[in-house]
Structure 1
């Protein structure tokens, strides 16, 4: 009945071959005269999701998390990851070959200082940013750039790089034409005292030129490079076979078009002309820094100005994302209704649930892709915040809590929603923690804060109820979200590390959680829009959040005595809005289920 077109459930890597591949890599390193090598999960653009041809870390180690790196020496090797992936790493990796290391316990630089003092450590300068290389060198690590990647030399059957077609992002959805965007970016370049801006981030390029692509799974990105001058036409470097004649003609009116192979030549020429090049050192490959410096360019280190420009959504983008969330909410309601009916019989598993939700979204007729692989997690699998179900890990959904975190890419908006659902009886501990997570969610949803406040200042709101019982969660409370772009967008975030001021027009997630390793996991997530919130008597300009996501929040696992009257009122008001906005889009059977799901808790 249900199927998946945009995600698969196969195991993508083989940790059992880690020792064998490690031996091959060490032999290759000896032949190149280096004592070790660094393997990040990265491509030359520093994308979160990378093409299959760039999955070197997964191929070598078996680890498939979205963030991590490995350090390989001749006598030992380590896999570095953060707290989200410690359990996953132990399960996926041959720990006799690679020692998992939580970066909170020891950074790669500290590990290399301890185990590789005086060693020559090779690295691929296309895959490490300027900042990352500078940090390692400042820590005393002797880095040796290699002309080509030794993992590629031993990777038999490595997939071909992608070359998917590029499409135009419609002006009615973009809300601003590329000419206007280019002019705004050029103002930023002039203000920074630079001659050119080097763009290596495909998200920024997609936004600037109002184009989308398919080179990266789940994010509509065209892999490309761009150089924007302070005055005149930008240079867009992209494979010509990705462009139709019509799109090429349209782009040629606003930019010079060239092949990606021209990038180093263009940078060398700018350097030789003594130009000042603005670049984001947190995103730019160290190799490109080297090309510029060796040719005499002056470098202006600055955050990519497009990050903040695209983070603040315009009227058309906000209208589009509202429409996308109504469509997505209706699909989610159909799924939740179906799930309640089917889970009671005990026949569901994680894969069938993920397939069903994708199918309900596809039936809208407007689904372009899922925005990330669905986290469909039962029992102890839900205690892994970034769990990805495979045929090997697939669990039957049994009584307790089931967590599903998913999202969609529509041309008018990107969605991301998590619901934790009661299946049969839940324990007192489950109900206590579920309620505390909801209290944190409500605290963010109802927060009112002065302009200039950062996500780091709001993050504790989501944790207070858990802190009261000595609990917490090891991920941020919220990340930025793009407009038919990445589901994880910067610079805005709600986390301990979120120091960028929130601005009206930014979209973020609100997703506190709780995870009992080996038992269960809880997360409740909606997307929110930052909006101005002026009220009589205010002494300062104030901001607040508007909730964009509309789907029932399960009230069955609640410990109602832990909710205040104000929190119950928020939940009832939210469900009234869900019914009003989603109800007209539902069939009679789903509508009847939703009326029960949205009934008052007061």
Structure 2
């Protein structure tokens, strides 16, 4: 096959997003502002008021001060020293992006705040936080950690005060899904939510998560990369119409018309005033203490409202996809399967030549996906790790780190797309001509774990935390493991990572029919290679077993059998793999032609 050239990537930038040399002057400016305000230390979270995995440029305060651009983290800047707290995904990225002579990087668990925050706040000092950027749960947690040591106080955001060229709020087009894509009207969803509010004896709920608001109103936007969100707030009463609060620039006659009879629309500047009105009327208001800004709770409580702290009541219903949403997700995976067949055929031809780069691989895959006009974005920045870079779990390739994939190295490629019909997420470990016995052993153990999840059958009421061990057992048997979850929830043309369900020790919420999850065990040998295999799966009622659930795999791309140690697979595992490949061939084979079709026939051949 002749070499192909591809247009530059549109969905992903490879620029280096941080410059450690900016850290010193910005810390200096921030400390001057702190001194002027009489503050001893400040908290700087990665999150914005909407808790999104992606944030608009003007909300990237943690990156502005520290240089760190990961999707989770927290900094504490004191008058003399600063700390950056990240989880195990970012222990390599964070030191590389910040100035470690001025910022100490700490590894901490996902969720919660480390006791080491105390190192950066003087005894009897004050630690300031922006109440729009921290939840009531976080504020209570850090106040407890600092009890008897320092005072935690709300304060206007001092990063914003020194950020002179801070980008403005995003304004993007808003679209509304028809019944053929949403499967349920916004009015019916609101009615269901209001019934739940009555059951909870709540007069209203405040929604701050964009995925909840977008799902409830069958609305999508482009306010942040990779995820079709509209950023805003909403108040839903137990009867009558909700009010949607948006930046004034987004409020158009067309928007009013689209929501006519469904919801009122108001300027975001009115949000706090309406919260105060709920309090003044002594209303009982439900908020999620793990996602709503502390400012929301404070405003309501100070005005006289009674608060019910409970998980966002939209998250559960949203995670249970209806048949229309599931149909769209399956179609998205058929479209993705076609793109991946073309890409994998191209990769197999080019990789052994030893001339592909990590950026070139990302660009090629995006190009094949964009051949379908309904592909509107990547669902996250592609993780394209050649050789040792594959061992960096959340590696992001830049022009500075771009590496040539050498023939004989493993290639880890974790990617996804946003099609108008649904969201995809897939990881494949790619073969370039040779693999060691150890690599084949680890690959096969990872595959066995993925198959174990795929074949699982379990009673209703079972959580992802309870089945996580199924994926790890074969690695554990050889004394190794992986330090990330086995799976996360996936939205329907929404966030590629969504709660409240997943497969890891963190997810205690029971799985339900209609949940869409990733299934992605892995193995990583630092400095040498990484292995991960990921499919998306749907929870469904088990055939012939009343009261039990099982999984349907909806990803449709071959798993490379050349990396398998056949002696480690059981007959049942071989049967599953052959059946999976038969499905890929049946679904994707008729949609491709020529050399790609011939390649796919070979790639899905039974072993």
Alignment TM-score, normalising by the size of structure 2: 0.96
Q: Is the 8 A contact 2:76 2:120 kept in 1?
A: no
> Which SS does the other structure have where 1:441 is aligned?
helix
Out of 46, 49, 69, the position equivalent to 1:41 is 46
Cross-structure match for 2:132: 126
The 1:107–1:496 alpha-carbon spacing in structure 2 relative to 1, beyond 3 Å, is: closer
Cα displacement (A) at 1:240: 4.5
> Which SS does the other structure have where 1:449 is aligned?
strand
State the distance in 2 between where 1:184 and 1:96 align: 54
The 1:459–1:357 alpha-carbon spacing in structure 2 relative to 1, beyond 3 Å, is: same
Q: Is 1:397–2:405 an aligned residue pair?
A: yes
State the distance in 1 between where 2:223 and 2:561 align: 41
> Which SS does the other structure have where 1:39 is aligned?
strand
The 1:165–1:588 alpha-carbon spacing in structure 2 relative to 1, beyond 3 Å, is: same
The C-alpha deviation readout for 1:379-409, integer Å capped at 9, x for no partner, is 1111111111110010001121001111111
State the distance in 2 between where 1:578 and 1:167 align: 33
Q: Is the 8 A contact 1:506 1:530 kept in 2?
A: yes
Q: Is the 8 A contact 1:168 1:247 kept in 2?
A: no
Cross-structure match for 1:193: 201
The C-alpha deviation readout for 1:21-50, integer Å capped at 9, x for no partner, is 212211111111000011100111111111
Cross-structure match for 2:286: 278
Cross-structure match for 2:74: 69
Out of 270, 273, 281, the position equivalent to 1:265 is 273
> Which SS does the other structure have where 1:556 is aligned?
helix
How does 1:203-214 map onto structure 2 within 5 Å? Answer: 203-214=211-222
Cross-structure match for 1:135: 141
Structure 1: 5+ residue runs without aligned partners? none
Q: Is 1:308–2:313 an aligned residue pair?
A: no
Q: Is 1:507–2:516 an aligned residue pair?
A: yes
Q: Is the 8 A contact 1:400 1:427 kept in 2?
A: no
Out of 292, 295, 304, the position equivalent to 2:300 is 292
Q: Is 1:480–2:489 an aligned residue pair?
A: yes
Give the superposed CA RMSD.
1.4
How does 1:71-220 map onto structure 2 within 5 Å? Answer: 71-104=76-109, 108-116=113-121, 117-139=123-145, 140=147, 141-147=150-156, 149-220=157-228
Runs of 4+ displaced beyond 3 Å? 104-109
Out of 24, 37, 40, the position equivalent to 1:32 is 37
Cross-structure match for 1:519: 528
Q: Is the 8 A contact 2:143 2:151 kept in 1?
A: yes
Q: Is the 8 A contact 2:112 2:141 kept in 1?
A: no
Cross-structure match for 2:239: 231
Out of 12, 32, 39, the position equivalent to 1:7 is 12
The C-alpha deviation readout for 1:536-588, integer Å capped at 9, x for no partner, is xx5x6110000000101011111111111111111111111111110011121
Cα displacement (A) at 1:156: 3.5
Q: Is the 8 A contact 1:120 1:143 kept in 2?
A: yes
State the distance in 1 between where 2:250 and 2:337 align: 34
Alignment TM-score, normalising by the size of structure 1: 0.97
Cα displacement (A) at 1:364: 1.1
> Which SS does the other structure have where 1:423 is aligned?
coil
Out of 580, 583, 586, the position equivalent to 2:586 is 580
Q: Is 1:433–2:442 an aligned residue pair?
A: yes
Q: Is 1:458–2:467 an aligned residue pair?
A: yes
State the distance in 2 between where 1:429 and 1:459 align: 24
The 1:166–1:193 alpha-carbon spacing in structure 2 relative to 1, beyond 3 Å, is: same
Q: Is 1:408–2:384 an aligned residue pair?
A: no
Cross-structure match for 2:262: 254
Out of 374, 389, 402, the position equivalent to 1:381 is 389
State the distance in 2 between where 1:325 and 1:240 align: 37
Q: Is the 8 A contact 2:215 2:318 kept in 1?
A: yes
Judge which range, 17-26 or 186-195, deviates more: 17-26
State the distance in 1 between where 2:112 and 2:437 align: 38
State the distance in 2 between where 1:24 and 1:429 align: 51
> Which SS does the other structure have where 1:8 is aligned?
coil
> Which SS does the other structure have where 1:368 is aligned?
strand
Cα displacement (A) at 1:107: 6.6
The C-alpha deviation readout for 1:284-338, integer Å capped at 9, x for no partner, is 1011111111111110111111000110000100111111110111101110000
> Which SS does the other structure have where 1:70 is aligned?
strand
The C-alpha deviation readout for 1:220-269, integer Å capped at 9, x for no partner, is 00011111000111111123432553332120211111111110000001
Q: Is the 8 A contact 2:41 2:120 kept in 1?
A: no
